[in-house]
Amino acid sequence: MEDKSFNPFKMAQRQFDEIAEQLGLDQGTKELLRVPSREYHFTIPVKMDDGTTKVFQGFRVQHNDARGPSKGGIRFHPQETINTVRALATWMTWKCAVVDIPLGGGKGGVICDPHNLSMREQEQICRGWIRQIAVNIGPLQDIPAPDVMTNSQHMLWMMDEYEKLNGGKFPGMITGKPVGMGGSLGRTEATGYGVIYTLREALKSKNVDIKDTSASFQGFGNVSQFAIELYHKYGGKTVCVSSWDQDDQKSYAFYKESGINLDELLEITDKFGGIDKDKAKNLGYEVLPGDEWISREVDILVPAALENQINVDTVQNISKKVKFIAEGANGPTTPEADKVLSKLGIFVIPDFLSNAGGVTCSYFEQIQGNMNFFWTKEEVIEKLDKVMTKAFYGVYELSERKGIFMRDAAYMIAIARVAEACKLRGWV
Task: Give the footprint of ligand NAD on this chain (CB under 6 A).
Answer: 147-149, 191, 218-223, 242-244, 251, 273-274, 290, 304-306, 328-330, 355, 358
Could you please report the per-residue DSSP string of 339-397? HHHHHHT-EEE-HHHHTTHHHHHHHHHHHHHHHT----HHHHHHHHHHHHHHHHHHHHH
Catalytic residue among 71, 95, 107, 237: 107
Minimum Å gap between C-beta 190 and ligand NAD is 7
Minimum Å gap between C-beta 6 and ligand NAD is 13
Do residues 326 and 389 touch, judged by C-beta distance below 8 A?
no
Minimum Å gap between C-beta 99 and ligand NAD is 12
Minimum Å gap between C-beta 76 and ligand NAD is 9
Report how far residue 300's alpha carbon sits from residue 322's, in angstroms, rounded to the nearest whole number.
6
Q: Which is nearer to ligand NAD, 236 or 358 (CB)?
A: 358
**CB-closest chain residue to ligand NAD:** 221
Backbone angles phi, psi at 396, to 5 degrees: -60, -45
Q: Which is nearer to ligand NAD, 46 or 304 (CB)?
A: 304
Q: Which is nearer to ligand NAD, 220 or 375 (CB)?
A: 220
Alpha carbon of 396 to those of 91, 176, 204, 312: distances in Å? Answer: 19, 30, 12, 26
Sign, CA torsion 57/63/68/72: negative
Report how far residue 223's alpha carbon sits from residue 221's, in angstroms, rounded to the nearest whole number.
6
Helices (H), 134-221: 152-166, 187-205
Q: Which is nearer to ligand NAD, 218 or 314 (CB)?
A: 218
Q: How far apart are the first and last CA of the chain?
A: 33
**107 in catalytic set:** yes
Q: Which is nearer to ligand NAD, 245 or 420 (CB)?
A: 245
Residue 145 CB-density burial (10 A; 0-12 exposed, 13-18 middle, 19+ buried): buried
Minimum Å gap between C-beta 224 and ligand NAD is 6
Catalytic site residues? 107
